């Protein structure tokens, strides 16, 4: 029998740096000045690597599956905040 997973609160305290990718990727997409200069596969790789970072603690059998849900919620919340930032502060049309 394998080891047991950490509770969500403990996993969030231990693995919060793994959520940095999903927290920062939306800002890179929304406010990146020259994001069109990069090929689409670079953006795809950046997106996948950020999501893989949030998925890894569950995949390594340390965090509960709800850690992944928190990662998705962080991504969506930061995506909305980055879009709002791009429209209001940077004046994107």
Q: Please tell me the distance from the alpha carbon of residue 46 to that of residue 9, in angstroms, as a whole number.
A: 27
22 part of a folded domain: yes
Q: Is residue 37 part of a domain?
A: yes
Task: Indicate whether 84 belongs to any domain.
Answer: yes
Residues 26 and 81 sit within 8 Å (Cβ to Cβ): yes
pLDDT (mean) for 29-33:
69
pTM higher than 0.75 for the full model?
Answer: yes
Q: How many domains is the chain partitioned into structurally?
A: 1
Q: Residue 20: which domain range? A: 11-88
pLDDT beyond 70 at 17: yes
d(CA 72, CA 53): 11
Among 15, 83, 21, 78, residue whose Cα is nearest residue 46: 21
Query: Tens digit of pLDDT for each residue in 36-64?
Result: 667 788 888 888 888 888 888 888 888 89
Which one, of 68, 46, 72, lies nearest residue 55 by Cα? 68
Q: What is 62-74 written as a DSSP string? A: SS-THHHHHHHHH
């Amino acid at each position: 029998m394998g080891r047991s997973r950490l509770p969500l609160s403990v996993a969030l305290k231990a693995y919060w740096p793994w959520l940095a990718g999903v927290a920062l990727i939306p800002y890179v997409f929304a406010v990146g000045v020259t994001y069109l200069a990069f090929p689409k596969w670079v953006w795809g790789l950046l997106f996948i690597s950020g999501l893989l970072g949030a998925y890894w603690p569950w995949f390594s059998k340390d965090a509960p599956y709800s850690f992944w849900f928190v990662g998705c919620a962080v991504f969506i919340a930061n995506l909305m905040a980055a879009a709002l930032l791009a429209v209001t502060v940077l004046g994107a049309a």
